[in-house]
């Protein structure tokens, strides 16, 4: 199966639409923000017209205050791909969320359920003694600590949660997982200046299309800034503007800056995929045709229908 990844604003949606129309495919979204209802402009969802043209799965599937895990994504993504195949179409996974991509390529361990009390206690411990959770993880599971970034508090807490509740090392349990199937990963990129220009123009377009009104509507529906969904780039800066913490122009520049930094982090993440096909949209023309040929080649090899779900 094919995964088309890339940083925000690189042009994944446009390329995917062209490919899907060419080969008879449908899209499974691999985006951890487009899952939320009512959050359309700030997450750059495909437009209703685009989604009518090509069917998309895993968009608008949860409320902004609902919890949705990587495990749930993997389950839903595999189910969506199966449904697409039953309809005689080709599933193409499209998005830029690294953890979601990992869950497909490498599999995911979710054998230990969430323990909100334990998580709260661990978070409180970290607040009282910064760096304590990192030291605990190094003590319980040095291998996991070496792979989890020192600033990634969320994954550190999850690793400790697994260690404390199962009595086993998180790193050892992860070795027992398996990928969802066989994939060809294609990473789209552009020259940095061009990518940053596209990001800046996208932010300007979001403001013009009513991002501020969208955030206001979310607040009226009762969704608060403390929610994970509302901490999305674009929404958090607009909230700061509404609270009078930044002026209008500073808000826009902050969204652009934070989005550029996010794109840079995505590209750093994607470098981990040594077997990926990397295509620079700034250097090559007709990338959609190139990827369509790859998709058809993989279908002919039978990878789509190998029962690897």
DSSP 60-128: S-B-TTS---HHHHHHHHHHHHHHHHHTT-EEEEE---HHHHHHHHT-----S---HHHHHHHHHHHHH
pLDDT tier, 71 (very low <50, low <70, confident <90, very high otherwise): confident
Q: Note the pLDDT tens digit of each residue in 102-135.
A: 999 988 766 677 888 999 999 999 999 999 999 9
Q: Note the pLDDT tens digit of each residue in 135-192.
A: 999 999 999 999 898 888 988 999 999 899 888 888 877 665 656 568 899 999 999 9
Region 252-258: mean pLDDT is 98
Contacts of 295 (CB under 8 A, 6+ apart): 2, 19, 23, 25, 90, 92
Residues forming beta bridges with residue 94, ordered by sequence position:
4, 29
Q: Note the pLDDT tens digit of each residue in 195-241.
A: 999 999 999 999 999 999 999 999 999 999 999 999 999 999 999 99
Count of the separate structural domains present in the chain: 2
Residue 217 lies in a domain: yes
The residue among 154, 174, 194 that closes a domain is 174
Is 187 in the same domain as 280?
yes
Residue 78 lies in a domain: yes
Is 149 in the same domain as 187?
no
Residue 245 sits in which domain range?
2-108+178-301
Residue 307 lies in a domain: no
Q: Note the pLDDT tens digit of each residue in 28-56.
A: 999 999 999 999 999 999 999 999 999 99
Is 88 in the same domain as 120?
no
Residue holding tokens 């195949």? 85
- CA separation, residue 5 to residues 188, 192, 256, 276, 287 (Å): 6, 16, 21, 10, 13
**Percentage of the chain with pLDDT > 70?**
94
Q: Quick count: other Cβ atoms within 10 Å of Cβ 184?
A: 18
Is 21 in the same domain as 156?
no
Residue 309 lies in a domain: no
CATH number at residue 251: 3.40.50.300
Contacts of 212 (CB under 8 A, 6+ apart): 238, 241, 242
Is 209 in the same domain as 268?
yes
């Amino acid at each position: 199966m094919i995964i088309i990844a890339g940083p925000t604003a690189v042009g994944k949606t446009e390329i995917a639409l062209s490919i899907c129309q060419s080969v008879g495919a449908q899209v499974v979204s691999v985006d951890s923000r487009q899952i939320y209802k009512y959050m359309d402009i700030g997450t750059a969802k495909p437009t209703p017209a685009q989604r009518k043209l090509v069917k998309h799965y895993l968009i608008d599937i949860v409320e902004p205050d609902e919890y949705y895990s990587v495990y749930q994504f993997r389950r839903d993504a595999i189910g969506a791909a199966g449904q697409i195949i039953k309809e005689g179409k080709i599933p193409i996974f499209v998005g830029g969320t690294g953890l979601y991509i990992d869950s497909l390529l490498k599999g995911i361990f979710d054998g230990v359920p969430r323990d909100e009390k334990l998580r709260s206690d661990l978070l409180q411990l970290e607040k009282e003694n910064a760096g304590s959770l990192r030291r605990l993880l190094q003590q319980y599971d040095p291998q996991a600590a070496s792979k989890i970034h020192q600033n990634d508090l969320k994954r550190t807490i999850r690793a400790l949660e697994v260690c404390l509740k199962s009595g086993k090392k998180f790193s050892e349990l992860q070795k027992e997982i398996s990928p969802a199937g066989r994939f060809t990963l294609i990473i789209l990129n552009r020259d940095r200046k061009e990518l940053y220009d596209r990001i800046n123009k996208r932010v300007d377009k979001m403001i013009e299309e009513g991002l501020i009104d969208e955030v206001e509507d979310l607040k009226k529906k009762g969704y608060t800034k403390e929610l994970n969904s509302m901490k999305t780039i674009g929404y958090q800066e607009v909230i700061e503007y509404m609270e009078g913490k930044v002026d209008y122009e500073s808000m826009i520049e902050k969204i652009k800056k934070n989005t550029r930094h996010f794109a840079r982090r995505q590209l750093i993440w994607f470098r981990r995929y040594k077997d990926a096909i990397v295509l620079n949209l700034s250097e090559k023309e007709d990338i959609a045709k190139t990827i369509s040929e790859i998709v058809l080649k993989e279908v002919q090899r039978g990878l789509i229908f190998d029962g690897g779900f």
